[in-house]
Amino acid sequence: MRAGARLALYGAGLAVAFGGAFAAAGAVIPDRVVAGWTDRGEMNQHDAGKSTNEAQTEESTPNGVSIEAGGFVLAPIAAPGDVGARGELSFQVQTLSGEAVTEFAEAHEKDLHLIVVRADGAEFRHVHPQLDEATGTWSLPWTWDSAGTYRVYADFTPATEGAEGVTLTRTVEVAGTFSPVTSEVRRTAEVDDFDVTLDGDLTAGTTSDVTVSVARDGKPVTALEPYLGAFGHLVALRDGDLAYLHVHAQGDAPRVGSTAGPEIGFMAEAPTAGRYLLYFDFQVDGTVHTAEFVVDAGHGEMHGASDETHSDDADGH
């Protein structure tokens, strides 16, 4: 496995239906829901004959909303179909020809990051399944705590020199009584005995600096431990379609045994104005905690493309 250097924060989708194993797991995959994402994903295929309009469409496609991207496909996901049912969540990353991918480059100390979240932003999980290299199947024990429609993301980097990260996603329906939550703006979170605060604003169309601060019992926490190659990780999803933001941690990778805090900085790119759901993972005393925030991204300033046009016209171009 080749190691890849990448600071992008996680997004990804997953999948795999394996005959009888799929049926036994009882997963229900609403492919009708992701049909539109699939169509958009097909436009991301890199072929030499793309027109300018096709290239522009590709650039405008949000990250993490397709089952296919970069020449890879997330096959249907096998998972328990009911709340409380114990089982296994499993999937494959495949090539466009249907061959299971068995080699990945390491990013943030893992070959693949799995993100699972309900459509309303609740029930967030960031976990790391195990790969069976003989079959190309990723899996881990799984139980759903509540019903609803879930988005499952697989975030990985292909084991190819210079390859960039790929985020694939599918949906899974979990049977049971569903009680949705409403995303209200909140910049503070109480997690176990920690108080976590988010500072900074998101602005559409540009890179924004945001800072997360951690305190306990009113005192700044300076014992944040390295977790997956950083002192903290921030996942950001756009409310509505759950598209991924590009988020990068600031600063150098931590040394083994070092600690940091109370503040961790990130650079985030919001593609559009609107509401975003943010999930901050941090580790103290060997335990990982997740703080959840909701923020609104404002409109960026419009720098007159028309002014440039008029200037060109005046010059006779």
Return the pLDDT at 90: 98
**pLDDT of 209 higher than 90:** yes
Which tops the pLDDT comparison, 117 or 257?
Answer: 117
Q: What is the spatial distance between Cα 76 and Cα 23, in angstroms, rounded to a whole number?
A: 12
Residue 5 lies in a domain: no
Nearby residues of 266 by Cβ (< 8 Å), 6 or more positions away: 9, 209, 210, 211, 212, 232, 234, 247, 248, 249, 250
Same domain? For 170 and 44 the reply is: yes
**Inside any domain, residue 268:** yes
Q: Are residues 207 and 146 in the same domain?
A: no
Supply the pLDDT for residue 64.
Answer: 87
153 plus 234 within the same structural domain? no
- The reported pLDDT for the residue numbered 60 is 53
Judged against a pLDDT cut of 60, whether residue 278 lies above it is answered with yes
- Domain end (from 174, 204, 224): 174
Q: Is there a single domain that holds both residue 50 and residue 145?
A: yes
DSSP for 190-215, please give it: EETTEEEEEES--BTTSEEEEEEEEE
Q: How far apart are CA 177 and CA 148, in angstroms?
A: 8
pLDDT of the residue at 129: 98
Mean pLDDT of 105-109: 91
- In the predicted model, what is the mean pLDDT of residues 7-35? 36
CATH number of 27's domain: 2.60.40.10
* 199 and 285 fall within a common domain: yes
Same domain, 134 and 49: yes
Residue 230: HSE in the Cβ half-sphere, 13 Å Cα cutoff: 24
Residue 310 lies in a domain: no
Given a cut of 50, is residue 317 above it in pLDDT? no
Residue 306 in any domain: the answer is no
Can you give the pLDDT at residue 157?
Answer: 94
Whether residues 202 and 136 share a domain: the answer is no
pLDDT (0 to 100) of residue 240: 92
14 is a domain residue: no
pLDDT of residue 155: 94
pLDDT at 213 over 60: yes
Q: Which of 159-173, 203-217, 293-307 comes out lowest in average pLDDT?
A: 293-307
pLDDT at 193: 95
> Residue 179 domain-assigned?
no
Residue 25 has pLDDT above 50, yes or no: no
Q: Could you tell me the CATH number of the domain that includes residue 217? A: 2.60.40.3340
Which pLDDT belongs to residue 133?
A: 96
Same domain for 168 and 233, yes or no, is no
- Residue 91 and residue 204 share a domain: no
- The answer to whether 94 touches 67, Cβ cutoff 8 Å, is no
229 belongs to a structural domain: yes
Task: Report angle CA 49, 54, 60 to the nearest 5 degrees.
Answer: 145
Tell me the per-residue pLDDT of 114-158, one tens digit each, with 9 for 90 and over. 999 999 999 999 999 999 999 999 999 999 999 999 999 999 999
196 and 64, same structural domain? no
Beta carbons within 8 Å of 33's beta carbon, 6+ residues apart: 149, 171
Going by C-alpha positions, the residue among 284, 9, 2, 3 that lies closest to residue 167 is 9
Q: Is residue 69 part of a domain?
A: yes
Binned at pLDDT 50, 70 and 90, residue 307 comes out as: very low
Q: Compute the average pLDDT of residues 267-277.
A: 95
More confident residue, 7 or 86: 86
Is residue 163 pLDDT above 80, yes or no? yes
Q: Per-residue pLDDT for 6 more than 80?
A: no
Residues 149 and 235 in one domain: no
Kindly report the average pLDDT of the chain as a whole number. Answer: 81
> Among residues of the chain, what percentage have pLDDT more than 90?
66
Q: Could you count the other beta carbons within 10 Å of the beta carbon of residue 222?
A: 11
Structural domain boundaries, residue 232: 188-297
3-state secondary structure of 22: helix
Query: How many domains does the chain fold into?
Result: 2
Q: What is the pLDDT of residue 61?
A: 67
Give the least confident one: 131-135, 195-199, 250-254. 250-254
More confident residue, 240 or 29: 240
Last residue of a domain, which of 142, 174, 206? 174
Asked whether residue 56 falls in the same domain as residue 162, the answer is yes
